[in-house]
Structure 1
Amino acid sequence: MNSPSTEWPSSLTDEELDELDRYLRGHADEGRLLLDGVHGMLSAIAVGPLEVLPDEWLPEVLHDPFADEAEGNRVLELLAKLNDSIRVELDVDAYEPILGEVDTDTGPTLSAAGWCEGFSRGIDLRAALWEKRLADDPQLMEMLGPVMALAVDEGILSAEAEFEKLTDEEYDECLAQVAPVLGAVDHYWHEHPATEAELSALARAPAPEGEEAPPPPRQRSGHWVH
């Protein structure tokens, strides 16, 4: 398979997003990430404390052999462009999450379930470092509040205390905070990078064995919304 080009445009057109969406839906078994989930995962990686190489995150996205080399090159190209676009959007304060759309009694509505599931998986790729810093610095936990509220509301995270479902207004308010939250977290890790002690502890951490797979996100229908 050819190596990805380094001169791809940094943003995907609507047609390219549709193309990637169709591919992911065509290979979406139980618990696999769709476009909103892939965007959430790559967003967590982009604002996280340490680089995560494609060799680490691609297995979270691609599970089936490609039909041929042309399909493989095209899908990898689209995923790389999606990844590049997140960094560019964060740098110019223009980030927008790609959200799902679910059917309700009152019509289609936006859903952060898939994006939150992907964001959670992105954090999991550097879980030890995230968890240690979240435990040590309440500022980071507070920053992530709106995203965590959405994740708990959607059943992606478990709440330690009893948690009332968000009202529609509260849900929309949390959605509106996703972009500012990511900008703040991105800035936080630049201002407070991982310490040598944290990195040493991370290097000494044993590889997880026999871990159960994370529960699949709630079933959702609809299409990507940007």
Structure 2
Amino acid sequence: MNTTNPDWPSSLNDSELDELDRYLRAHAGDGDLLLDGVHGMLSALTVGPMQVLPEEWLPEVLHEPFADEEEGNRVLALLAKLNDSIAAELDVDAYEPILGEIDTEAGPALSAAGWCEGFSRAIDLRASLWEKRLADDPALMELLGPVMALAVDEGILSAEADFDKLSDEEYDECLAQVPAVLGAVGQYWHEHPVTEAELEAMVHAAAESGDDEHNPPPRHRSGHWVH
């Protein structure tokens, strides 16, 4: 990577990625996001319908008090850099999803399960906006097709119709389309921003459930956005 080019995004280097990965693994409980999931979540938030502040998404990532101020500052700085890098990487066609690794009979293989779980949780943070638009506009559903196929294949989302497992070639093809999907989804929301009616419906839904209208709590169960 050409890190001397001022136009190139300031992404985490391998050492920083390993550092953040180790921290998340050391402090993760069952169902908590690891590095791949955090990247998927931040990716979805970057291209989503409206800004989600760190105060809202950090509880999805951090579950224990920091050991001290130095550790806290370091972890938060790494997360901020990871978050900021996503839009920059998309702008210069340098984005790649961070994937997990699983053991198979044929040996280690990359898996999009964690990334898709994070992506789905990000959508849950603005579920009412996503769900209504997905129901009203098939174009958005079509744009998300490759990501949804991966999520269903990994069991992150449930499909209403029968769904055949992706072949290795189809899986790899969907993975290869992820950067383009993110770019297209971001462009979609830019060209078709959230309407006043949708905002009012979101606030009304939050009020009815007793949630703060500006910072509704995370919905930890994924799959709500499939129609």
| TM-score range normalised by the length of the shorter chain | 0.7 to 0.9
Tell me if 1:18 matches 2:25.
no
* Cα shift at 1:91: 1.7
Give the Cα separation in 2 of the matches to 1:14 and 1:212. Answer: 31
- Please list every run of 5 or more consecutive structure 2 residues that lacks an aligned counterpart in the other structure: 1-8, 211-217, 223-227
Map of 1:199 onto structure 2:
199
Indicate if the aligned counterparts of 2:124 and 2:220 stay in contact, CA closer than 8 A.
no
Identity over aligned pairs, percent: 79
Shift of 1:101: 1.1
What is the letter of the counterpart of residue 22 of structure 2? R
1:105 aligns with 2:105: yes
Deviations 1:182-208 (A, max 9, x none): 010011111111111111111111354
The within-5 A match list for 1:26-175 is 26-175=26-175
Instruction: Give the TM-score normalised by the residue count of structure 1.
Output: 0.88
Would the aligned equivalents of 1:93 and 1:183 in 2 still touch at CA under 8 Å? no
CA contact (8 A) 1:33 1:61 kept: yes
Query: Counterparts of 1:179 and 1:90 in 2: how far apart (Å)?
Result: 7
Answer whether contact 1:20 1:35 (CA < 8 A) is retained. yes
* Structure 2 CA distance for aligned equivalents of residues 45 and 214 of structure 1: 17
Distance in 1 separating the partners of 2:139 and 2:77:
37
Q: TM-score, normalised by structure 2?
A: 0.87
Task: Decide whether the 8 Å contact of 1:97 with 1:178 is kept in 2.
Answer: yes
Greater shift in the superposed pair: 9-18 or 57-66: 9-18
User: 2:6 — aligned with what?
Assistant: none
Conserved 8 A contact 2:20-2:78? yes
Q: CA deviation at 1:213?
A: 4.1
Instruction: Name the SS for the 1:110 alignment partner.
Output: strand
| CA distance in structure 2 between the aligned counterparts of 1:110 and 1:212, rounded to whole angstroms | 27
- Retained in 2: the 8 A contact 1:49–1:189? yes
CA distance in 2, matches of 1:192, 1:171: 30
Give aligned pairs, total: 207
Question: Is the CA contact (8 Å cut-off) linking 1:21 and 1:34 kept in structure 2?
Answer: yes
Shift of 1:171: 0.7
1:212 offset after TM fit, Å? 7.8
RMSD of equivalent CA atoms: 1.7
Q: Structure 1 unaligned segments of length 5 or more: list them.
A: 1-8, 216-226
